[in-house]
Structure 1
Amino acid sequence: MMKNHFRILSFAFVIITIFSCDTDDNPEPNPIQDDFPDLQLFLDRFAEEASFRGFDLNLSGLDAVYVDEINRNDAPYCGYGYIIHPQTGRRTVEISRAPNCNWAALSDIQRENLFFHEMGHAFLNLPHDNALKCDGRPLSLMTDEFNIFEIYRAGEEELRTYYLDELFDRVAASEQCIDFGQDFDQDPAFFKNELEDGFWNFSNDNGNYQVSRGVHEDSGVPYLGISSEGDGQNTGYIYKEILVPNIPEGASVTLRTKINAENLQGPGVAIALRIYETEIGNTGANLVETATLTTENDPIGGTLEDHVLELTLSNFTRRTIFMIPFAVMMPGTEGKAYFDDFEIVVEDAS
């Protein structure tokens, strides 16, 4: 199995440690008497909604606090959710008192929208999710592309119930008409290695592997490249984190690539796919690895020409928070391998 993969877990955890929501679309205010109500009101309500859905929560390890303002990279925010607060180390929701947020004049339901969104970050370990329903509405309360104060409004009880159902269990969205952004029957490629995508990571075992990304001049095919002189003590790999993949519940998901190499000596190369979800516990959600698919136990070497490697997850779940595909070179391998047409394809079970 791939060594040093805990580095990947750490990297993934950092990505979903801090979330924020800006305030460019502040709604029209609905004045209320109590300017800054105790945030415990919304904590109690969140726990009550969780209880309705079968979760018994202990929120004593989470801080909900007002702050004078929230600014990150010179941008103002009205709410911020931390899984680990940088000063206290605790789960924290911050609500801004800044005039641009107009919190004092918001209605109770508008405040709830923002607060529950931030609890999604801080307590449920959820990243933003910008998938859409077929009617153009956000699929999730965790969107950051809509007015976060009004994902659902006063009197929209059925809509509110749906968004809170989905907040605690992403599979609830499967009952909706979802805009997947493509017809998987006509275009099954959910993900491809494209050269302009710079968000790739690698482990080179202290320089014992050389990794590269490029396009073959003769064919124009994009590749992931890994080479070594055989000195690697651990695996060398390239990987990509794919957050909140918008894939149908129950679909078949296949990682596929074509390997090209000349006289690859030693154990050889492989591919892997790891799947992660969040699991809601009494004191907060935790990141869990729910599936690991790999060909590392049967690597390939020698001279290879468009040798197809693939792994298939037969029953995708929308509880998936992110998945990570890997191109891998095994320890002790000498030579260079190209992983061409590195892609993830989807076959919709419906």
Structure 2
Amino acid sequence: MRYSFKLVLILVVLLGFQACNQSEDNVPEITKEEFPDLKIFLDKFEAEAKLRGYNFDFSNLDLVYVDKLTMADGSEYCGLGIIKHPVSGKRTIQISKSPGHCDWAKKTDIERENLFFHEMGHAFLGLLHDNALMCNGKPLSMMTDDFNQFFIYKENEPELREYYLDELFDRLAANEQCIDFGQNFAENPVFFKNDLSDPMWRFSNDNGRYQVSRGIHPNSFSTTYLGISSSGTGQNNGYIYKELEVPNIPEGATVILRTKVNAENLEGPGVAIAMRVYDTKIGTTGATTNESHTLTTEPNPVNGKLENHVLELRLPNFTRKTIFILPFAVMMPGTKGEAFFDDFEILVEPV
């Protein structure tokens, strides 16, 4: 695949939440030391990793307290996991000492462990937030940001703790749970489609040699399109793509990227679709992002007059190790004309 883009993954993941109120007759025992050495929690993380067969080198990891973690919009965060710190270049965990919002000083060790392990998931294991649910309404992963991160599991829940830590190191552990996928894929297979209310699309126009667009066909108010056009001067691919993070799709399912292409007269190589799939690989010094699959119709682009010409890619045996799926609409270098990728969507066929 000839792409000029450089995939930008999220290197900094923030976690912010309100501390839960507790009744006076149910106050947990408070750890005597308000700001203990964070290595205490790193040692716990290391012990859990060794139980699961990992021996890590933490020499490139910094653990620091900060007085407050306030973002540009004024929001306050309790923890921050950074894969590569912009100054030190190291993996970094920052914990806020702020008394009003986070109250780390008044948390128990197990509550502190909850937050610290979550941030290690970001900074050391390369994980994003995962807001999938179990069928009972509990978070499927401790990497959720829909729940208060101090309280994912408690001192008296050793089995739940063991599950969450299993899943932290191996996302496939979630397959042992009853998972709420949010829909019945056998009845409604559409997992993703081009929704015009979604601004988070990216594109490459090869320094203005392509024009890209998204819209609704005026003669069919239910049909959305991705549009790419060029005068034929493109030297690299022109493309539009979407980054789908931590897709909540059943293990073993077939994932299908499908669209209908319309064009009046495409000259030159033509257009295609592509799909890239990523997971993480855990090494001694932490996780790295790995491209597990690349599927594309680029070796056989379509051109000429196209009327609802179906392009499709099929990814069998989906795995929950997946952290990104990137679907692309592509115009090949040297193509002249305009193409519309209608009903650009991803479907799921469960096992």
Q: TM-score range by the shorter chain?
A: over 0.9
Structure 2: how far apart are the matches of 1:102 and 1:35? 9
SS in 1 for 2:323: strand
Aligned residues: 343
Report Cα offsets for 1:109-153 as digits up to 9, x if no partner.
000000000000110111111110000000000001111101000
State the identity %: 61
Structure 2: how far apart are the matches of 1:305 and 1:153? 58
Q: Structure 2: where are the runs of 5+ without partners?
A: none
Partner of 2:239: 237
1:32 to partner: Cα distance: 2.2
SS in 1 for 2:78: strand
2:63/2:92 contact within 8 Å kept: yes
What are the within-5 Å matches in structure 2 for residues 250-289 of structure 1?
Answer: 250-289=252-291
SS in 2 for 1:162: helix
Cα RMSD (Å) of the superposition?
1.0
Partner of 2:158: 157
Q: Which amino acid is the alignment partner of residue 331 of structure 1?
A: P
Partner of 2:197: 196
Partner of 1:172: 173
What are the within-5 Å matches in structure 2 for residues 24-39 of structure 1?
Answer: 24-26=18-20, 28=22, 30=28, 31-39=30-38
Structure 1: how far apart are the matches of 2:306 and 2:37? 65
Q: Which amino acid is the alignment partner of residue 76 of structure 1?
A: E
What are the within-5 Å matches in structure 2 for residues 92-241 of structure 1?
Answer: 92-100=92-100, 101-220=102-221, 221-241=223-243
Structure 1: how far apart are the matches of 2:201 and 2:34? 46
Q: Output the TM-score relative to the length of structure 1.
A: 0.96
Structure 2: how far apart are the matches of 1:260 and 1:35? 64
What are the within-5 Å matches in structure 2 for residues 1-150 of structure 1?
Answer: 1-5=1-5, 7=6, 9=7, 11=8, 13=9, 16-26=10-20, 28=22, 30=28, 31-72=30-71, 73-100=73-100, 101-150=102-151
1:25 to partner: Cα distance: 2.9
2:19/2:103 contact within 8 Å kept: no
Q: Which amino acid is the alignment partner of residue 171 of structure 2?
A: R
Structure 2: how far apart are the matches of 1:251 and 1:25? 38
Structure 2: how far apart are the matches of 1:271 and 1:329? 9
Q: Structure 1: where are the runs of 5+ without partners?
A: none
Q: Output the TM-score relative to the length of structure 2.
A: 0.96
1:27 to partner: Cα distance: 5.1
SS in 1 for 2:121: helix
1:249/1:317 contact within 8 Å kept: yes
1:3 to partner: Cα distance: 2.4
1:59 to partner: Cα distance: 1.0
Structure 2: how far apart are the matches of 1:317 and 1:25? 34
